[in-house]
Structure 1
Amino acid sequence: MKSGQAEIVETSKAIQKSGLMSRRNAILEFILRIVAFFNTITSAILMATTNETLPFFTQFIRFHAEYSDLSALTFFVIANAVVSGYLILSLPLAFVHIVKSKTQNSRVLLIILDVAMLGLLTAGASSAAAIVYLAHKGNNNTNWFSICQQFNSFCERISGSLIGSFVAVFLLILLILLSAIALSRRH
């Protein structure tokens, strides 16, 4: 075999290997989008269904804690719901990346939208984290008392919801990095 033919064979093998890596990357992105969707939708549902009522001294006077009492938690629910909708709507485009290899424009679009959703989700999770911190620790300087000793179920649910949302933030960061890697390999 001549050296020119050997180079062609080697180049062909490299292209096939690159195509296989690209396909694996696209499959991983698709799976990460599904996992992120389940994290965000579960976080939104868990937070939106969180409430707890405690009796005071009599059964006629009760204390009630609900997510909608705090605008930061309402924003958290809305942000997670919006990102969930985006993630489910981005799945067909992510599937196209598995099937087709030349998808640079759609990858750029997904990176831009992923970054926007990352910003929204991070803002929602961060605002809720401040409220969760105050619920657990309180703030003696402002006379805000910890409510988690009384509203234990409420605090457990909002904390769990927050964890799921921050996992989704991490997954979106991975999606952005994977898309950027896929784009950089094509140029």
Structure 2
Amino acid sequence: MATGKNGETAINMPETKASVKGTAPLLNSSKAVSTVEHPNRGVKKGFAIGDFVLRLCALGAALGATVAMGNADQVLPFFTQFLQFEAQYDDFDTFRFFVMAMGMVSGYLFISLPFSIIGIIRPFATKPRLFLVIFDSMMAALTIAAGSASASMVYLAHNGNDDVNWLPFCQQFGDFCQSASGAVIGSLLAAALLLVIIILSAFALNRN
């Protein structure tokens, strides 16, 4: 308590703990704002990690299919000096298209890995994810086209076609047909993984 020149009395009130504590929410306001701004960061990062893992699996399937079809080659043990029986993938235009298409898909999936890593580091970046969705759709269509066309050829090789007198030759060229069949299965697996990747990317973009 103090007395002024004019006889007026002034009372000095000390600061209480309540007034000091009242400033505490202001110090943590930035953290609260950041929490409100990015509530789905963990979910988006999970989508990005899943995209990267599935992309690696699709790359393995596509590359395996390319190598299996490219190595499809068999020579029958019985042959003469002037004639031998051999089956190669490049004897069929469909199989040559398969090798070129799956080679392109494998190269694209390898190049897309850095863009997928960007999605993990920056979960809210939409441009890299949109870029991947567009090209993933194109590569999925190419993979399905190559796999389905080659699947029809493998079916004819195993079963033939009595209507046009096409005889099955997988009984003689068993190793060749086994390699071709494995390549087709690998391509269809790669196509299925690409479709799952596209769906995950669509969900991630929708949550923006």
State TM-score, norm by structure 1: 0.89
Change (3 A) 1:171 1:137: same
Aligned residues with identical type, % of pairs? 40
- Tell me the CA shift for residue 55 of structure 1: 4.1
CA distance in 1, matches of 2:49, 2:117: 8
Taking the TM superposition and a 5 Å limit, the aligned residue runs for 1:146-157 are 146-157=168-179
- 2: distance between equivalents of 1:55 and 1:138? 23
User: Which structure shows the bigger proportion of residues in helix conformation?
Assistant: 1
SS at match of 1:21: helix
- Structure 1 segment 5-154 matched on structure 2, within 5 A: 12=35, 15-16=38-39, 18-56=40-78, 58=80, 60-154=82-176
State the one-letter code of the partner of 1:83: V
| Cα offset, 1:54, TM superposition | 1.0
For the Cα contact (< 8 Å) 1:40–1:83, is it kept in 2? yes
CA contact (8 A) 2:69 2:179 kept: yes
Q: Would you say the 8 A contact 1:33–1:91 is kept in 2?
A: yes
Task: Note the residue ranges of structure 1 that are not aligned, 5 or more in a row.
Answer: 1-7
Deviation at 1:60, TM superposition (A): 4.5
User: 2 CA distance for matches of 1:103 and 1:59?
Assistant: 65
For 1:81 and 1:110, locate their aligned partners in 2 and report how far apart those are by CA, in whole Å.
18
Q: CA separation in 2, counterparts of 1:57 and 1:41?
A: 33
Change in 2 beyond 3 A, CA 1:24/1:86:
same
Three-state SS of the structure 2 residue aligned to 1:65 is strand
Letter in 1 for 2:135: L
Name stretches of at least 5 consecutive residues in structure 2 with no aligned partner. 1-30
Q: Answer whether contact 1:138 1:145 (CA < 8 A) is retained.
A: yes
The alignment's TM-score, normalised by the length of structure 2, stands at 0.80
1:87, distance to aligned residue in structure 2 (A): 0.3
Which aligned runs of 4 or more in structure 1 are off by greater than 6 angstroms?
Answer: none
Please report how far the alpha carbon of residue 13 of structure 1 lies from its aligned counterpart in structure 2 after TM superposition.
Answer: 7.2
Stretch deviating more after TM superposition (103-112 or 173-182) = 103-112
Paired amino acid for 2:45: R
Query: What CA deviation, in whole Å up to 9, does each residue of 1:15-61 have, x standing for no partner?
Result: 44x21111111001001111111111111011001111114464643
1:175 paired with 2:185, answer no
Shift of 1:62: 1.6
Aligned residues between the structures = 179
What is the CA–CA distance in structure 1 between the aligned matches of 2:125 and 2:86, rounded to whole Å? 52
CA RMSD of aligned residues (A): 2.1
Deviation at 1:104, TM superposition (A): 1.0
Query: Any idea what SS the aligned residue of 1:75 has?
Result: helix
SS at 1:78 equivalent: helix
Distance 1:185 1:73, change over 3 A: same
